[in-house]
Amino acid sequence: MTRGQAMAGLALVMLAIIFARLVSNYAELEHLRPLAAYYVQQAPADLGAANVVTAILITYRGFDTLGEVAVLFMVAASVGVILERRSPEPAESDRQQALSEIVSTCTGILVPIILVFGAYVIVNGHLSAGGGFQGGAIVASAVLLKLVADPGARISLTALSITESLAGILYVGLGVLGIVLAGGFLDSRFLPLGQFGTFLSGGAIPLVSALLGIKVGAELSVILERFRD
């Protein structure tokens, strides 16, 4: 047994011990902790959003969400700098040979469905499970499928960069409106809360979620396009 294999075996044993201790001490909570119970009860009444998780991410911890989006932007920019050189365009004959009729047909059917589902998850994030980050990742998965299925396909990095930048500017702009018209940065209550549980509810949360979805989807698509080369 080599030294590397011994270290790998030791690491697996340690992980197994940690996992066993976690499982043996696990006990499901029967009641929410006081802080969680406060947000579960207060968020729907205060923000008008049925999905408490999205409401918290976009409003109560809006600065943290902005930081997460900024980190994703820096990752996309770093990947662009590192992988700046692009491979030459493939010949048309190579492209046709790589893309079979079955793959082309299935991709043409699945990509629009995935995009629509991603848009649904984004715009309904204030009502059900989902939101900007989740929907943006789904949209990027459609781009990934297109790039894998069609090696000759190209995505306009310029258009994605402009889209991502505009979404980021508008996102911060909504945050500033929250300061001016409501109680603080990204306070969604500067728009009417609407009727609870309906599509047009939650104040500005649906708008912020949509901008997050566009920004995340564009940033992840840029990363995928860069790594493809």
When comparing pLDDT for 223 and 98, which is higher? Answer: 223
Asked if the structure places residue 31 within a domain, the reply is: no
Are residues 124 and 100 in contact, defined by beta-carbon separation less than 8 angstroms?
A: no
**Confidence category of residue 226, pLDDT binned at 50, 70, 90:** confident
Instruction: Report the distance separating Cα 21 and Cα 18, nearest Å.
Output: 5
Q: Which two tokens stand for residue 21?
A: 């201790």
What does the angle CA 139 – CA 207 – CA 122 come to, to the nearest 5 degrees?
Answer: 25
Asked if the structure places residue 12 within a domain, the reply is: no
The share of the chain scoring above pLDDT 90, in percent, equals 29
Q: Is the pTM of this model over 0.95?
A: no
Instruction: Report the distance separating Cα 109 and Cα 142, nearest Å.
Output: 11
Asked if the structure places residue 138 within a domain, the reply is: yes
Asked if the structure places residue 32 within a domain, the reply is: no
Residue 92 is predicted with a pLDDT of 52
Q: What is the pLDDT of residues 7-21, one digit of tens each?
A: 888 999 999 998 888
Given a cut of 70, whether residue 48 has pLDDT beyond it is: yes
The greatest distance separating any two alpha carbons of the chain, rounded to the nearest whole angstrom, comes to 67
Instruction: Report the distance separating Cα 114 and Cα 217, nearest Å.
Output: 12
Q: What is the pLDDT of residues 61-70, one digit of tens each?
A: 888 888 888 8
Asked if the structure places residue 181 within a domain, the reply is: yes
Q: Which residues make beta-bridge pairs with 201?
A: 194
Given a cut of 60, whether residue 85 has pLDDT beyond it is: no
Are residues 100 and 224 in contact, defined by beta-carbon separation less than 8 angstroms?
A: no
Given a cut of 90, whether residue 120 has pLDDT beyond it is: yes
Given a cut of 90, whether residue 118 has pLDDT beyond it is: yes
When comparing pLDDT for 129 and 217, which is higher? Answer: 217
DSSP 3-state of 193:
coil
What is the domain count for the chain?
1
For 88, the domain range is 47-228
Which burial class, exposed, middle or buried, applies to 150 when counting CB atoms under 10 A from its CB (0-12, 13-18, 19+)? middle
**Confidence category of residue 229, pLDDT binned at 50, 70, 90:** low
The share of the chain scoring above pLDDT 70, in percent, equals 92
Are residues 137 and 220 in contact, defined by beta-carbon separation less than 8 angstroms?
A: yes
**Residues whose CB falls within 8 Å of the CB of residue 70, separated by 6 or more in sequence, listed in order:** none
Quote the distance between the C-alpha of residue 32 and its chain's center. 27
Asked if the structure places residue 134 within a domain, the reply is: yes
Given a cut of 80, whether residue 218 has pLDDT beyond it is: yes
| Single-letter residue type at 54 | T
The mean pLDDT value of the chain amounts to: 85
What are the phi and psi torsion angles at 147 (to 5°)?
-70, -40
Q: What is the DSSP string of 116-175?
A: HHHHHHHHTTTTSS--HHHHHHHHHHHHHHHHHH-TT----HHHHHHHHHHHHHHHHHHH
When comparing pLDDT for 81 and 143, which is higher? Answer: 143
Q: What is the arithmetic mean of pLDDT over 134-139? A: 93
